[in-house]
Structure 1
Amino acid sequence: MALNLIKLCVGCDSVEDLEEWIAFRLDERRRNGEPVEQYHTTRMMPTRGAELIDGGSLYWVIKSNVQCRQRLLDIRPFTDEEGISRCHLVLDPAVIRTDWQPRRAFQGWRYLKAPDAPADLGSGNSGLVEMPPKLRRELADLGLL
């Protein structure tokens, strides 16, 4: 059974914001001649890395709700310019929308077991994907999503 991570998506107001940011960063890396891959840098190295990259995902909390995920492809430890140990969580750039699941704010990331993770949006919820982000936000604020 895959193990996942959950993290706040600081600075994004919607899944669309996250997708735009990913596209911008990938284009920037392409223009700079860098490897075209998406990663998130974190200070703490997951101790259960093998379980995470064996089919796990990073679930993003946006505006107090888990709204999407990205598959975890690799975990690469490194030391930054200041000598601090960090790691890159290498992610599939494709953003997979999920059922919304309320979450309180927290720092860093947390492990998320597969049974506790929200389901991917299926064809039965395709209307939710097509719904304007502002309307989805208002319905979530009312507790209807």
Structure 2
Amino acid sequence: MTKFTHLIKLSVGTEGVSDLADWQKTVAARTSDGLPRHVTRMWPKREDEVLNGGSIYWVIKGVILCRQTILRLDEVTGHDGIRRCAIVLDPELVRVEPTQKRAFQGWRYLKPEDAPADLSRAKEGEADLPPSLSAALAEIGVR
């Protein structure tokens, strides 16, 4: 059995999944081939595991709300000449069971068994709950 792992990352400045989707449509958040990306200073040491079926789970306002499959890692060089990692993502934002997550810096690895389950397609079409309400519901075990 081939091993894989996920990443988890705060989506700073977004109010909900729709804000994240809007940001990823901007030129600054896209690769030259039009895919969304997130640029970070650190390159995952467990690159092979991340690229073997991993996703990035997005924490919005203290709650994990969605994920995107990681397609590849591109090397990019900033205006300052420093090498960085662009995490290139599938454009589909998959909603997951809202799960509270404390703030942290950068990204972290997330074991597959610790990742929230995807929501059913029927629930994906529902209107976004405010992140604070999602957090409150997750805290009491209602998702």
TM-score higher than 0.5: yes
Q: Secondary structure at the match of 1:45?
A: coil
Residue 3 of structure 1: aligned partner: 5
1:130 counterpart letter in structure 2: E
- After superposition, what is the alpha-carbon deviation per residue over 1:71-95, rounded to whole angstroms, capped at 9, x for unaligned? 0000122332212221100001110
Matched, 1:66 2:64: yes
Please show how residues 1-145 of structure 1 align to structure 2 within 5 Å. Answer: 1-25=3-27, 34-123=32-121, 126-127=122-123, 129-134=125-130, 137-141=132-136, 143=139, 144-145=142-143
| Cα distance in 2 for residues equivalent to 1:4 and 1:29 | 21
Residues 1:50 and 1:132: Cα distance change in structure 2 (over 3 Å): closer
1:140 counterpart letter in structure 2: A
- For these two proteins, the number of residue pairs brought into alignment is 138
Mark the structure with the bigger radius of gyration.
Answer: 1
- After superposition, what is the alpha-carbon deviation per residue over 1:32-88, rounded to whole angstroms, capped at 9, x for unaligned? xx4212110000000111110111000000010110000000012233221222110
What stretches of structure 1 of length at least 5 have no aligned partner? none
RMSD: 2.3
Identity of paired residues, percent? 43
User: Which has the larger displacement, 105-114 or 80-89?
Assistant: 80-89
Given that residues 16 and 60 in structure 2 are in contact (C-alpha distance below 8 angstroms), is that contact kept between their aligned partners in structure 1? yes
What stretches of structure 2 of length at least 5 have no aligned partner? none
Residues 1:127 and 1:36: Cα distance change in structure 2 (over 3 Å): closer
Q: Secondary structure at the match of 2:25?
A: helix
Given that residues 30 and 37 in structure 2 are in contact (C-alpha distance below 8 angstroms), is that contact kept between their aligned partners in structure 1? no
2:51 counterpart letter in structure 1: I
| Cα distance in 2 for residues equivalent to 1:139 and 1:71 | 23
Given the two structures, how large is their TM-score scaled by the length of structure 1? Answer: 0.83
Residues 1:29 and 1:40: Cα distance change in structure 2 (over 3 Å): closer
State the shift of 1:16 in Å. 1.2
